[in-house]
Amino acid sequence: MGRVMIMSMDLADKLRILGGAARYDSACTSSGSQRGGVKGMTGNAVSCGICHSFSADGRCVSLLKVLLTNHCINDCKYCYNRSSNDIERTAFTPEELADLTMSFYKRNYIEGLFLSSGIVRDPDYTMELMCRVLALLRGQYGFNGYIHAKAIPGGSAGMISRLGRLTDRLSVNIELPSERSLVLLAPQKDKEKILNPMGLIQRGIRDRDQRGFAPAGQSTQMIIGATPDTDYQILRLSESLYRKFELRRVFYSAYVPVGDHPALPVAGKPPLLREHRLYQADWLLRFYGFSADELLDQRRPALDPVLDPKCQWALRHLETFPVEVNRADYSVLLRVPGIGVRSAKRICVARRTASLDFEHLRKLGVVLKRAVYFITCKGRYQTDLKINEGFIYRNLAADVGSRRQIAAPAEQLSFFSEPDREDAIQCVTGEL
Amino acid sequence: MCDRRALGGHLVYLYDGSFEGMLTAIFEAYYREAPGRILAEGCWQQALDERYEKVETDLSKSGRVHDAIEAKIGKTALGMVYYGWLSHEPERATRIYEFLRLGFRIGPGITARLADPAVDALFRINRPVLREYDKQRGFLRFSVMEGGIYYAKEETVSYQLPLLTPYFFDRMTGDPFIIHDVGRRLAGVSDTRQWRIVSAETFTAPDMSPEEMDYRRLWIAFHETVAIQSRLNPKLQSQMAPKRYWKYMTEMNGGK
């Protein structure tokens, strides 16, 4: 590695630089793999994942998330590690990183390693370096815990297959939600360079043999708010990624200004509320049976800042309500605001032995202040309600408004709202 | 001595706090006299209209109740009873007894009766136990001590050692460890071949290994680094990692 000069740097400094450089990647989950401990090795994996800490921004810390090196030949305008950015560069040795992972893991600081890297020389050479670290960790150090690695855009089939056998999860970041944006801001990347490795990973997972290949599947990330792409475009893209590439997760990362390219938005607060709404909508795609076209369309391409996407959808489809909770199908219950996956399942179980009323629903975890406008129990609304769109909207919005000041809905890209209570849900669930 | 029975007081069984003791009390409830409440010794307040009877733990009686629950109501219900026992809720055994009374009447279907008050009450007791287990699996912090022993302290609200010790026994395969429940003066211990829970009344922790402080500093440095400054949200942070856990979390207590 000819370009890595600083070998005498203190390990703490390296960790600060290479951990700091990786923090904009929002995927820190250790979920999707389940395996018990193995004699002679260290570690196991729990399918729901485990959060080991929470950083000062409230995000879950589950993995030691670092770059192998922040040297990079690419100059993506939105990226902190772009070659034109004047920052200190360094790299871990494989031994340093393996030792850190083991020492942190055994102290129960982390659930495993998240390894990404700047691109050294070329994509395959970079993945070769990553494989060396992971092979050392899995082999000599006997690490049986969780590993998430980034496949490098433009990497070959051979390297991806090696990487896949060493990891629980692989991801290739889409980064920018449209080809036009890629051309503008990431000139060295193109759609093919990103989608090819995704297809290779998908094939690796499908043809998985006993040696295992990314048992926790693949994920990706998109940066939100660095480009004029709309929520509608983003959700359409996510939907097709889930369908075509069978991704487990798409992560959304509110753009934090790290560059001053004329095509990038000027410094401001990261669009956290927008990120949160996208996660909610993403949940609706994956677990609630919604399609992107039901939530948004060309004429209303932005998610509503005031109401969550499920409330929004329900208000536009009052003709499908009210729903009688004692009879409605599971798939219909899922579409009621205030009823989540868990409470819908509980309703279906509980109503087999009892006819449910509103008090029962409260016990089952239904959020009645949202649900009351859309359901009946034994044929009755909870109270006399005037059910029309304006009435419900005012009530739902008043409830949100009492928790935070709402800026008037504005054009996409311009609402940079303060972090608020609702963002709290982000890391754990997206239940609506 | 005044005869409480003559005063018509409600019967309360007191058990020794163990899982087997609680099941023995439930056995007595069926084969001797039905109580109004079942309580663990040492966490009850005497009431005028109650009479108290100590139940001697009897493994054959508790075994019969254990097997009957599993055979007649099912594994899920047995799990709920066990998690309920781990709870710190003073009335946990009473709630478990009420749950089982219904369970023995209607069988495995009971776990579907989510809206029934007796079932709901036990679910409500279970939930914080499982939530704390979930948190503590992540927030527990080991230190490496002299001789390569991993040592962690905790003060949990519910009794977590019976869940955490086997979990870490699986995770730590090759390394001996001690999880010290400071509040209950107990310890979950593994010598890598097996685990058990022992008294920690007279326990003193071994000395820290020389490199321990270095790794703590590295972890604290990493933890500071990952926070994005323009997204700072301390409220969210303490919502996700409640402050009562911070005492023993290396990155929250300054590595003490």
Q: Predicted ipTM?
A: 0.93
pLDDT at B214 > cutoff 90: yes
Q: How do residues A114-138 score in pLDDT, each as one tens digit?
A: 999 999 999 999 999 999 999 999 9
What integer pLDDT is reported at residue A432 of this predicted model? 42
What does pLDDT average to over chain A?
86
For the segment B105-114, the average pLDDT, to the nearest whole number, is 91
What integer pLDDT is reported at residue B44 of this predicted model? 63
Instruction: Give percent of chain A with pLDDT exceeding 70.
Output: 89
Would you call B180 an interface residue with chain A, using a CB distance cutoff of 8 Å?
Answer: no
Would you call B173 an interface residue with chain A, using a CB distance cutoff of 8 Å?
Answer: yes
Residues of B in contact with A356 (CB under 8 A): 115
pLDDT at A1 > cutoff 50: no
**Which chain B residue's Cα is nearest to A55?**
B227
What CATH number is given for A11-295 in this structure?
Answer: 3.20.20.70
pLDDT at A26 > cutoff 80: no
Of A42, A57, A100, the CB nearest to B174: A42
pLDDT at B48 > cutoff 50: yes
Give the least confident one: A44-58, A303-317, B45-59, B110-124: B45-59
Q: How do residues A105-120 score in pLDDT, each as one tens digit?
A: 999 999 999 999 999 9
Helix/strand/coil for B4:
coil
pLDDT at A358 > cutoff 90: yes
For the segment A323-338, the average pLDDT, to the nearest whole number, is 96
For the segment A143-172, the average pLDDT, to the nearest whole number, is 94
Residues of A in contact with B220 (CB under 8 A): none
What integer pLDDT is reported at residue A402 of this predicted model? 55
CA B192 to chain A, closest CA, distance in angstroms equals: 10
Would you call A266 an interface residue with chain B, using a CB distance cutoff of 8 Å?
Answer: no
**Which chain B residue's Cα is nearest to A426?**
B236
What integer pLDDT is reported at residue A342 of this predicted model? 93
Would you call A18 an interface residue with chain B, using a CB distance cutoff of 8 Å?
Answer: no
pLDDT at B2 > cutoff 70: no
* Top mean-pLDDT range of A216-225, A364-373, B138-147: B138-147
Query: Considering only CA atoms, which of A129, A137, A122 is closest in space to residue A64?
Result: A137
Between positions 404 and 423 of A, the ones with CB within 8 A of B are: 419, 421, 423
What integer pLDDT is reported at residue A144 of this predicted model? 96
For the segment A155-183, the average pLDDT, to the nearest whole number, is 90
pLDDT at A337 > cutoff 70: yes
What integer pLDDT is reported at residue B196 of this predicted model? 96
**Which chain B residue's Cα is nearest to A256?**
B230
How far is the CA of A5 from the CAs of A69, A73, A82, A91, in angstroms?
A: 12, 16, 18, 9
Contact check, Cβ <8 Å, B222/A106: no
- Who wins on pLDDT, A400 or A276? A276
Instruction: Give percent of chain B with pLDDT exceeding 90.
Output: 84
pLDDT at B36 > cutoff 80: yes
Assign 3-class secondary structure to chain A.
Answer: CCCCCCCCCCHHHHHHHHHHCCCCCCCCCCCCCCECCCCCCECCECCCCCCCEECCCCCEECEEEEECECCCCCCCCCCCCCCCCCCCCCECCHHHHHHHHHHHHHCCCCCEEEEECCCCCCHHHHHHHHHHHHHHHHCCCCECCEEEEECCCCCCHHHHHHHHHHCCEEECCCECCCHHHHHHHCCCCCHHHHHHHHHHHHHHHHCCCCCCCCCCCEEEEEEECCCCCCHHHHHHHHHHHHHHCCCCEEEEEECCCCCCCCCCCCCCCCCHHHHHHHHHHHHHHHHCCCCHHHHCCCCCCCCCCCCCHHHHHHHHCHHHCCEECCCCCHHHHCCCCCCCHHHHHHHHHHCCCCCCCHHHHHHCCCCHHHHCCCEEECCECCCCCCCCHHHHHHHHHHHHHCCCCCCCCCCCCCCCCCCCHHHHHCCCCCCC
pLDDT at B92 > cutoff 50: yes
- Are the C-beta atoms of A249 and A219 separated by less than 8 Å? yes
**Which chain A residue's Cα is nearest to B211?**
A103
Give the residue extent of every domain in chain A.
Answer: 11-295, 309-406
Residues of B in contact with A55 (CB under 8 A): 223, 226-227, 237
pLDDT at B7 > cutoff 70: no
Q: How do residues B152-162 score in pLDDT, each as one tens digit?
A: 999 999 999 99
- Who wins on pLDDT, B98 or A414? B98
CA B66 to chain A, closest CA, distance in angstroms equals: 26
Give the least confident one: A17-26, A377-386, B88-97, B115-124: A377-386
Residue A210's pLDDT band (boundaries 50, 70, 90)?
low
What integer pLDDT is reported at residue B244 of this predicted model? 94
What integer pLDDT is reported at residue A8 of this predicted model? 53
Q: How do residues A399-431 score in pLDDT, each as one tens digit?
A: 765 555 444 333 333 222 333 333 333 333 333
Would you call A60 an interface residue with chain B, using a CB distance cutoff of 8 Å?
Answer: yes
Q: How do residues A223-274 score in pLDDT, each as one tens digit?
A: 998 888 999 999 999 999 999 999 999 999 998 887 777 777 776 788 999 9
Residues of A in contact with B225 (CB under 8 A): 15-16, 19-20, 23
For the segment A335-363, the average pLDDT, to the nearest whole number, is 93
What integer pLDDT is reported at residue A163 of this predicted model? 95
What integer pLDDT is reported at residue A263 of this predicted model? 76
Contact check, Cβ <8 Å, B112/A352: yes
Residues of A in contact with B222 (CB under 8 A): 15-16, 19, 64
